[in-house]
Amino acid sequence: MKLIKGFRDIFPYSDNVIEDSVLWNFIEKSISSKLENYNFEKIITPIIENKTTFNTGIGNDTDIISKEMYEFLLYKDSQVTNDIIYCLRPEGTASTVRSYLENSLFKRRKINKLYYMGPMFRYERSQKGRYRQFYQVGAEILGSKDIFYEFELISLGVDLIKETGIDDFVVEINSIGDINSLNKLSEEVRNFTNKNKEKIQDSDFEIINKNPLRFLDKAIHKYNFEDIPKSSDFISSDSKLRFDEIINLLDKNNIKFNINHQLVRGLDYYNDLVFEIKSDSLGAQDTILAGGRYDKLVSKFGGPETFCVGFAAGIERLILLSSSDVRKKAYERIDFYVAYQKPDFKEFANEVCSRLRKIGFNVLIEYEFKNFVKQIKSADKMNSKMLITIGEEEMNAKSIKIKDMSSGKEDIIKNKNIEKDIKNISNNEK
Ligand code: ATP
Ligand code: MG
């Protein structure tokens, strides 16, 4: 029995950070709590969708649709039951928009701020920072064109990244304009690359022939073309105005960013604002978070014209970059380790545990008795914040001894007063 290539198990105490469930859990919790701070609400959609959900919006000549999707048909008695192609979702925006429309979320509220978190599937070459099942967190704002929502999203993106202790990152922004400007840019990139044929690899010409914008997304970094046409040459005055506004807002709020006029996104549905957050420390897979405005997607799905802006971030890449502080904190989960001196004291120790758990503490007790000293050593090894010991004296007095593992300070409290007295002792009140 073997795990499929590009897939991973995630379990406690793995030596590999992106397979360590304790760290995953900690980071997922801090990401969700940041999203809730910004008042985003969770949307949960199925992992399987009809293929049309994705090829309608993403674009048939993209890598995702043309070669990365896990597609399947349903069989019964060796016959295909119908001709619907299902697939494992490769990204979250199309599913969110499908659900938004099917459930008429726009009728309940004019503006919906939604987030999702979960596995995505793409059949691509697996390597560090790139897996076939990977996890994304995404945030989408549907129903408004207000520039402050664009600001809110970028600011949230930056906060999510800081939340994982990453400080070595850059925000890049660009405006790609509307469909007319993109068509013009495509045409000009095609002309430019034709004129510079001898400098460009044949394999990149395959990309250019299909869609010159993909060349900007995937291959431009390989060449040093200073004079290649850029989006800012073709955007309308409205797009330019919006771009100036977001730049202004970011500046005023001290969010650092670089303007990158060669930034285009790999999916078809974007217009005007696009942005990415990158880190050099990631090596070749340098994008942590990417997003932009996609005002045409809802109407492409048959819905009313709806202004939308969103982003998605790769959770593995966040975890790979997480700071040692965050990693350490993820392991400070245990509030109390309860150690008992003799097997006979187990029942009393267990009662203490139950009472502490009831008021919300994380409590560890080892029921398979081991030597008292070994238990005390375990408390330290497991990073427990406090150690409770129940020795002969405590047992007789029906009390417990509590030691703060960082300061070394000790207290004794009566078992019957635990709920009240523990609050004065523990530095993490529940
Ligand atoms: P890339 O250029 O790295 O292929 P992308 O443009 O395909 O990224 P998006 O579809 O915009 O990526 O997804 C947003 C984020 O999801 C990426 O910035 C990255 O952090 C993460 N991501 C995308 N594909 C993978 C993958 N195969 N494995 C791990 N993370 C991924
Ligand atoms: Mg990709």
- Our answer on whether the CB atom of 314 is closer than 6 Å to any ligand 1 atom is yes
**pLDDT tens across 360-377, in order?**
999 999 999 999 999 999
Q: Is the CB of 263 under 6 A from ligand 1?
A: no
The mean pLDDT of the chain is: 93
Which band of pLDDT confidence, cut at 50, 70 and 90, is reported for residue 54? very high
Question: How much distance in Å is there from the Cα of 140 to the middle of ligand 2?
Answer: 19
Closest among 87, 86, 90 to 122, alpha carbons compared: 90
Contact 234, 188 (CB under 8 A): yes
What is the CA(314)–ligand 1 centre distance, in A?
6
Residue 266 in contact with ligand 1 by CB distance below 6 A: yes
Please name the amino acid found at residue 275.
F
Q: Would 17-327 and 334-429 be classified into the same CATH topology?
A: no
In tens, the pLDDT along 142-182 reads 999 999 999 999 999 999 999 999 999 999 999 999 888 88
Q: Is 157 in the pocket of ligand 1 (CB under 6 A)?
A: no
CATH class of residue range 17-327: alpha beta
Q: Under a CB-based contact definition with an 8 Å cutoff, are residues 157 and 309 in contact?
A: no
Q: What is the pLDDT of residues 348-357, one digit of tens each?
A: 999 999 999 9
What's 366's DSSP letter? -
73 pLDDT higher than 50: yes
Pocket test for ligand 1, best of 221, 287, 322 (most atoms within 8 A of CB): 287
Whether 214 is in the pocket of ligand 1, judged by its Cβ within 6 Å, is: no
Q: Is the pLDDT of residue 83 over 90?
A: no
Alpha helix locations (H) across 225-334? Answer: 237-252, 297-300, 315-321, 324-330
Q: Which atom of ligand 1 is nearest to the CA of 276?
A: 18
Flag whether pLDDT at 127 surpasses 90.
no
Give the rounded percent of residues in the chain with a pLDDT score beyond 90. 74
Whether residue 61 has pLDDT greater than 50? yes
Q: How confident is the model at residue 209 (pLDDT cuts 50, 70, 90)?
A: confident
pLDDT of the residue at 365: 98
Determine which of 34-38, 136-140, 155-159, 233-237 has the lowest per-residue pLDDT on average: 233-237
- What integer pLDDT is reported at residue 427 of this predicted model? 55
Least confident of 9-13, 57-61, 155-159: 57-61
Predicted confidence at residue 426, as pLDDT, reads 64
Strand order in the sheet with 71-72: 48-50, 86-88, 71-72
Q: CB of 288 closer than 6 A to ligand 1?
A: yes
254 or 201, higher pLDDT = 254
- Cα separation, 208 vs 231, whole angstroms: 16
Taking the CA of 135 as reference, the closest ligand is 1
Model confidence at 258, pLDDT cuts 50, 70, 90, reads: very high
Nearest ligand 1 atom to the CA of 124 is: 27
pLDDT per residue over 13-23, tens digit each? 999 999 999 99
Q: Higher confidence at residue 268 or residue 303?
A: 303
Q: Spell out the domain ranges in the chain.
A: 17-327, 334-429
Question: For 294-350, what is each residue's pLDDT tens digit?
Answer: 999 999 999 999 999 999 999 999 999 999 999 999 999 999 999 999 999 999 999
| Closest by Cα among 171, 181, 292, 295 to 230 | 181
Atom of ligand 1 nearest to the CA of 266: 6
State whether the beta carbon of 126 lies less than 6 angstroms from ligand 1: no
Residue 429: the pLDDT is 44
Is any atom of ligand 1 closer than 6 Å to the C-beta of 136? yes
Which residue minimizes the CA distance to atom 10 of ligand 1?
91
Please report, as a single letter, which amino acid is at residue 76: K
Atom 4 in ligand 1: which residue has the minimum CA distance? 285
Q: How far is the CA of 162 from the centre of ligand 1 (A)?
A: 19
Q: Does domain 334-429 correspond to CATH entry 3.40.50.1220?
A: no
Cα(123) to ligand 1 centroid in Å equals 12
Ligand approaching nearest to the C-alpha of 263: 1
Ligand 2 centroid – CA 134 distance (Å):
11
Please report which ligand is nearest the Cα atom of 127: 1
Ligand 1 touching residue 130 (CB < 6 A): yes
Q: Is 386 exposed, middle or buried (0-12, 13-18, 19+ CB in 10 A)?
A: buried
